[in-house]
């Protein structure tokens, strides 16, 4: 079994995308960690968080930017 590290996110500064237009159904990202990108649900800020390797998160975002799928599909 793989050991999953525990990250202290208590001081994380969370923010939403500027594309969210103030909506509450968004992901929030904390970008103050050099090696990882923590992500949480804006509707449940005290709920579980996902922590991605920073390179994997950047690749995911780049893929979204270049996706030919319409928004929301």
In the chain, what are the domain boundaries? 22-65
Burial class of residue 22, CB neighbours in 10 A (0-12, 13-18, 19+): exposed
pLDDT at 70: 60
Residues in Cβ contact with 38 at an 8 Å cutoff, skipping those fewer than 6 apart: 7, 9, 12, 29, 30, 49, 50, 51, 52
pTM: 0.76
Q: Within 13 A of 61's CA, how many CA atoms are on the CB side?
A: 12
- Report pLDDT digits (tens) over 19-73: 776 667 788 999 888 999 999 998 899 999 999 999 999 999 999 888 866 655 5
Instruction: Give the integer Cα–Cα distance in Å for 4 and 36.
Output: 13
């Amino acid at each position: 079994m793989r050991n999953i590290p525990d990250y202290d996110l208590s001081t994380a500064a969370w923010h939403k995308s500027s594309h969210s237009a103030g909506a509450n159904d968004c992901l929030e990202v904390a970008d103050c960690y050099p090696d990882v990108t923590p992500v949480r649900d804006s509707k449940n800020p005290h709920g579980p968080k996902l922590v991605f390797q920073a390179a994997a998160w950047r690749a995911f975002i780049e893929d979204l930017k270049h996706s030919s799928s319409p928004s929301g599909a």
